Amino acid sequence: MSTASATTADDAPQTSDPQPSQAAHAPAKEVRFRGLITFAIMLATIMQVLDTTIANVALPHMQGSLSATQDQITWILTSYIVASAIMTLPTAWLMGRFGRKNLFLFTVGGFTLASVLCGMATSIEQMVLFRVLQGCCGAALVPMAQATMLDINPKEKHAKAMAMWGMGVMIGPILGPTLGGWLTESYNWRWVFYINLPLGIIAFIAMLLFMPDSERSDRPFDKFGFTMLALMIGALQMLMDRGEGKGWFDSREILLYAALAGSALWMYIIHTLRTPHPFLSPEIFRDRNLMTSLVFIFFIGILLLATMALLPPFLQTLVGYPVLDVGLIMAPRGMGTMLAMVMVGQLANRLDARILLLIGLSCTAISLNAMTYFNTSVQASTLIWTGMLQGFGLGFIFVPLSTVAYATLAPQYRAEGASVFSLSRNMGSSVGISMVMALLSRHMSTNHAYLTENVTAASLGISLQQVPQDLVNNASGILLMLDAEITRQAATIAYLNDFKLMFWVVVFAAPMVLMLKKAPPANHQKAPEIAHAVAD
């Protein structure tokens, strides 16, 4: 989708006769160096999406180096996701105002610099600040890369280009832990961020030399509307991050965040209904398929990243796997997603998208249910097949849901719908990570207290009179060993409780499939549009 067409689509609600831009249907102009441009933007895109999960397996190492608590260390993940979510929304306006090439160069350069700063961070405060900067700079890369892929390819090649691009966007976060594990094991956790330096330099030079620019536009920017959305998202994330440590709504700080989020949402709604140029067109929220899909993808966002935030520390601290092995064990999850996307591409024209969604939900639920039976001696083969099945299920969910979300949406609102769809997915991931980590901390304390109360001489079948004197003399050391084992078992149960929670998330999300309208069958003429929606 070109910048001109994006501008027309966004301005359409204010015209008396909204029509899709003719530029959207014009044949793509012959572009020189198409292969090099594709290489550059795909390199930048993969670099950005990898950073949503590449730091996961390094979190235990970073926690000690940065002197962070269990709750604080998750800010490294959530700060990046929230910053990306907020700054994704104004991408179309920024590209129209400053031009595609200039924005690409700024975002790639800023993202690379922020990555280096993350690698140099010496405190948790510095790391979170630099991750926010990294997320803000990288947010525009994904939607801009999609638009550029459509612009530089003729219409008959749009489906192929978007299929390749969409698979890269989906696989990137899943393969991140594998690369992160190898870098942390072979070097140290700082190389998880330093690896972006050569990639960013190559992408920047290629874009500087070969990237074509786009037309500019003077579309008005709804500053108040954007500010209210950003305030709502930021306040909601702070509520989730700090709620557990502050006692939730018993704390004035948490009540303040809740009030800010609710007030910002209310003011945004009132402002949108009255302004002639709202930040998001109200019409997109009247489409049943899109609204249902927004709720659906929020839950899928929880599953996509929350599991990957839980598994690395579980496998390293409780099961005892080295960090490199953790990355390798999680790699089949990406293979499952890849296989699912290939199969969905073949089945999309033969089966109702809602049936494909149910297949994906079933596979994901089976995997999560199996994970609730993990223990500290879980076999690598069990970890591999559950991860692969879960990746397969998510692949079967993501593509059909992205397709059916836009099936009944008017073309002139598709760009805005895609932005909100991406925001909902990112917020689901952020809220999911905060939620499972908060519950993990609470369940660890609760389980430890319960197990301690029930570990007595009577429960173990031991008579104090039968205890040898040498054990009595070393009681303090034995009690320390016993407490360590109780702590280990309490943590294991806490992780399993989180897996069970995500299983029920899938179960409760499944009935929403019935609320979706049947998507029209994909034909040759509609393939590029459907591929476009899948990529979003």
Among 272, 216, 11, smallest CA distance to 94 is for 216
- How much is the pLDDT for 367? 92
- How much is the pLDDT for 150? 64
Q: Which is higher by pLDDT, 528 or 291?
A: 291
Among 219, 230, 221, 234, smallest CA distance to 267 is for 230
Alpha helices in 455-474 (DSSP H): 469-473
- How much is the pLDDT for 32? 73
Cα(9)–Cα(7) distance, integer angstroms: 5
- How much is the pLDDT for 174? 65
Number of CB atoms found within 10 A of residue 29's CB: 9
Query: Which CA distances in Å does 451 have to 70, 92, 482, 491, 511?
Result: 21, 55, 11, 11, 37
The DSSP result for 371-415, as a single string, is HTT--TT--HHHHHHHHHHHHHHHHHHHHHHHHHTTTTS-GGGHH
Task: Output DSSP code: residue 30.
Answer: P
Domain boundaries along the sequence of the chain:
1-8+28-217, 223-278, 283-454+476-536
At 54, give phi and psi (nearest 5°).
-65, -25
Q: Which SS3 state, helix, strand or coil, does residue 280 take? A: coil
Task: With beta carbons less than 8 A apart as the criterion, state whether 117 and 143 touch.
Answer: no
Residues 6+ away with beta carbon under 8 Å from 83: 131, 132, 133, 134, 135, 136, 139
Among 420, 349, 439, 360, smallest CA distance to 393 is for 360
Residue 395 tokens, joined: 């692949």
pLDDT tens-digit series, residues 273-328: 888 878 877 778 888 888 888 888 888 888 777 887 788 888 888 888 887 787 77
Among 127, 68, 67, 71, smallest CA distance to 309 is for 71
Mean pLDDT of the region 449-462: 67
Mean pLDDT of the region 507-524: 70
Number of CB atoms found within 10 A of residue 59's CB: 21
Is residue 17 predicted with pLDDT exceeding 50?
no
Number of CB atoms found within 10 A of residue 242's CB: 20
- How much is the pLDDT for 461? 55
Number of CB atoms found within 10 A of residue 168's CB: 15
Multiple choice CATH, 1-8+28-217, 1.20.1250.20, 3.40.50.300, 3.20.190.10, 1.25.40.80: 1.20.1250.20
Mean pLDDT of the region 431-448: 82
Cα(293)–Cα(393) distance, integer angstroms: 17
Which stretch of 74-78, 256-260, 262-266, 466-470 has the lowest confidence by average pLDDT? Answer: 466-470
Among 278, 144, 274, smallest CA distance to 220 is for 278
At residue 219's C-alpha, the angle toward residues 216 and 220, to 5°, is 140
Most confident region among 72-81, 219-228, 429-438 by mean pLDDT: 219-228
CATH fold for domain 283-454+476-536: Growth Hormone; Chain: A; (1.20.1250)
pLDDT tens-digit series, residues 189-204: 888 899 889 989 999 9
Residue 488 tokens, joined: 């280990």
Residues 6+ away with beta carbon under 8 Å from 456: none
Radius of gyration of the chain (CA): 25
Dihedral-angle region of residue 20 (phi above 0 means left; psi in -120 to 50 means alpha; beta otherwise)? beta
Query: Which CA distances in Å does 320 have to 68, 128, 326, 340?
Result: 21, 28, 10, 31
Q: Match 């909204």 to its residue by tokens.
A: 18
Q: Match 């994906």 to its residue by tokens.
A: 360
Mean pLDDT of the region 135-142: 85
Cα(23)–Cα(38) distance, integer angstroms: 21
Q: What is the distance in angstroms between the CA of the first residue and the CA of the last residue of the chain?
A: 11
The DSSP result for 71-94, as a single string, is HHHTHHHHHHHHHHHHHHTTHHHH
- Written as one letter, the residue type at 242 is R
Work out whether the CA dihedral 315, 321, 324, 325 comes out positive or negative.
negative
Task: Output DSSP code: residue 105.
Answer: H
Cα(40)–Cα(152) distance, integer angstroms: 13
Among 109, 505, 115, smallest CA distance to 303 is for 505
Domains 1-8+28-217 and 283-454+476-536 share a fold: yes
